Copies of this chain bind each other. A is one copy, B any other.
């Protein structure tokens, strides 16, 4: 090919390259360039035939266009557009990088432990971004309402979900809610919710692979007609399906380990949101620092 310029590595780079070289392009190629800039979505996920029809250029012209910018073919260029579509949806463009982490599973500690930390930071940041999108406007509010209506909130979560559950139990307690933490000490988790009533609520946290204890608790509560607020990773998880309200957290996988940052973040928002609403309803001012 005529060009020896570096192949764009990101959608942003490609955009810039298109703008810069726009003038030097031939008529048809300019047409395509315009379309690429104006309708990146088309470019990202339509077939060549469709793009061709919409832009008024031939498929072959699109391939030529791609090659002009150093790609091996049109498919190659489309990948870039697609990546940007996903990553802009999820976060800052880290998307692809994080995904590759999974791909290079076996790369292991060649880059040292510090790199591992960085990976977790990236993964967690990504999960946080998606959290804001996943949890809709009213979801959190309704979840808080459920807690507010309960006489006593039973909080359960084991294994990986235990930290989240323990934080929630602690925070809600601090916020002045009658809270019972089902910590499963001495294997008594079943006993601890034995006397749960329909006026109470169960706050269950569980991620795949779902701890059987939690599932059982949820099933028992559901059977008893107790409202259930679930924090889980899939709408079809055993506990989500039985829940009254569901807060969905999609954690990122880093080297096949899921992060927890987003879950904790959500838990905080839940607990502190509860505290605010609670106190706002009771009296205008309240102690802010109580949960510190």
A residues touching B (Cβ–Cβ < 8 Å)? 15, 18-19, 22, 30, 33-34, 37-38, 41, 44-45, 82, 85-86, 88-90, 92, 94, 105, 108-109, 112-114, 116-121, 124-125, 128-129, 131-133, 135-138, 140-141, 144, 159-160, 162-164, 166-167, 170, 185, 208-209, 233-236, 241, 250, 254-262, 264-266, 268-269, 272-273, 276-277, 280, 288-289, 291-292
Closest CB in chain B relative to A151 CB, distance in Å: 22
B166 touches A159 (CB 8 A): no
Please indicate the chain B residues that have their CB under 8 angstroms from the CB of A258 in the complex: 292
- A109 touching B277, Cβ below 8 Å: yes
Is B120 touching A288 in the complex (CB atoms < 8 A)? no
User: 17 A-B Cβ contacts within 8 A?
Assistant: A37-B234, A37-B235, A45-B82, A88-B89, A113-B144, A114-B140, A116-B273, A119-B269, A120-B269, A120-B272, A121-B128, A121-B129, A121-B131, A125-B125, A256-B289, A257-B291, A258-B292
| Complex copy number for this chain | 2
Specify which chain B residues have a CB less than 8 angstroms from the CB of A256 in the assembled complex. 288-289, 292
CA distance A153 to B119 in the complex (A): 25
Residues B280 and A86 in contact, CB atoms below 8 Å apart: no
What separation, in Å, do the CA atoms of A254 and B75 have in the docked complex? 30
Chain B CB count within 10 A is highest, among A82, A114, A258, A277, for: A114
With a CB–CB cut-off of 8 A, which chain B residues contact A265?
A: 117, 120-121, 124, 259-261
Task: Decide if B129 touches A125 in the complex (CB within 8 Å).
Answer: yes
B residues within 8 A CB of A167? Answer: 160, 162-163, 260
> Are B166 and A170 interface neighbours, CB within 8 A?
no
Contact B120 A268 (CB under 8 A): yes
Instruction: Tell me whether B41 and A86 are in contact (CB under 8 A).
Output: yes
Kindly list chain B residues whose C-beta atoms are within 8 Å of the C-beta of A160: 167, 170, 292
**Complex formed: what's the CA distance from A90 to B88 in Å?**
10
- Contact assessment for B292 and A236 in the assembled complex, using a CB-CB cutoff below 8 Å: no
B236 x A269 contact (CB < 8 A): no
Name the distance in Å between A71's Cβ and chain B's nearest Cβ.
17
Known: A45-B85, A162-B166. A128 touches B137 (CB 8 A): no
CA distance in complex: A255, B162 (Å): 25
8 new A-B contacts, CB < 8 A, other than A30-B236, A41-B86, A85-B85, are: A45-B82, A89-B89, A89-B92, A117-B266, A160-B167, A160-B170, A167-B260, A260-B265
A233 partner residues in chain B, CB cutoff 8 A: 38
Known A163-B163, A166-B163, A276-B109; judge A116-B269 contact (CB<8 A).
Answer: yes
